[in-house]
Amino acid sequence: MNKSPLKIVLTGAPGTGKSTVIDELEKRNKYCMHEISREVTLKAREEGTEQLFLTQPLLFSEMLLKGRLAQFHDATNLIEKFVFFDRGIPDVHAYMNYFGLNYPDKYSEISNKNRYDFVFLMPPWEEIYITDSERYESFEQALAIHNHLLRAYESLNYTVVEVPKGTINDRTDYILRIINTFK
């Protein structure tokens, strides 16, 4: 019987370098699951809804939850040592908490049932922060989102490891050093 790979989530507020580190991990031949929120946002835009999260936050969150859960289950069957995720399932309810929106209990239940082996948190970093057509939050909002993400993972009893600021290589090396001790 094949052992399931270690599931490693990179989380953090918008603009903290998660996707850049995911890209670097892929360059180093690591298996990565990409962030799906931009895909959901772009699909909604093609269907005429400019900002789905702002107009229908529960529908947007349901789509994210479904997509991230599918990624999690897909990873379980891979023949890899590690699978890296650009955001995790608990990010969905962390964002709902940030916006002060009610959501079904199943969000937390799904997060508890489908657990990651490592959680790396990228801290807000004003010097690299930019906005674009899908990232509309101010840096101050990113700071608040960071706190909600940290609380969401800690409330699920995760040990959250903060990734120090530095070059892409330094940040990627830091993550790999930690997980390689658990091969």
The crossing angle, in degrees rounded to 10, of helices 57-76 and 37-46 is 130
First to last CA, the chain: 17
* Annotation: CATH topology of 6-178: Rossmann fold (3.40.50)
The domain ranges of the chain are: 6-178
Alpha-carbon gap, residue 91 to 146, rounded angstroms: 10
User: Is pLDDT larger for residue 4 or for residue 87?
Assistant: 87
Alpha-carbon gap, residue 115 to 182, rounded angstroms: 16
Averaged pLDDT for residues 120-139: 71
Q: What is the pLDDT of residues 147-172, one digit of tens each?
A: 999 999 999 999 999 999 999 999 99
pLDDT band for position 173 (cuts 50, 70, 90): very high
Q: For Cα atoms 123, 180, 33, give the angle at the middle one, nearest 5 degrees.
A: 60
Amino acid at 90: P
Angstrom CA distances, 79 to 31, 113, 117, 131, stand at 10, 22, 16, 37
Q: What is the pLDDT of residues 22-78, one digit of tens each?
A: 999 999 999 999 988 877 777 767 776 566 666 677 777 888 898 899 999 999 989
- SS3 of residue 156 by DSSP: coil
Q: Report CA 119 to chain centroid distance, whole Å.
A: 9
Give pLDDT, residue 36. 86
Averaged pLDDT for residues 132-154: 82
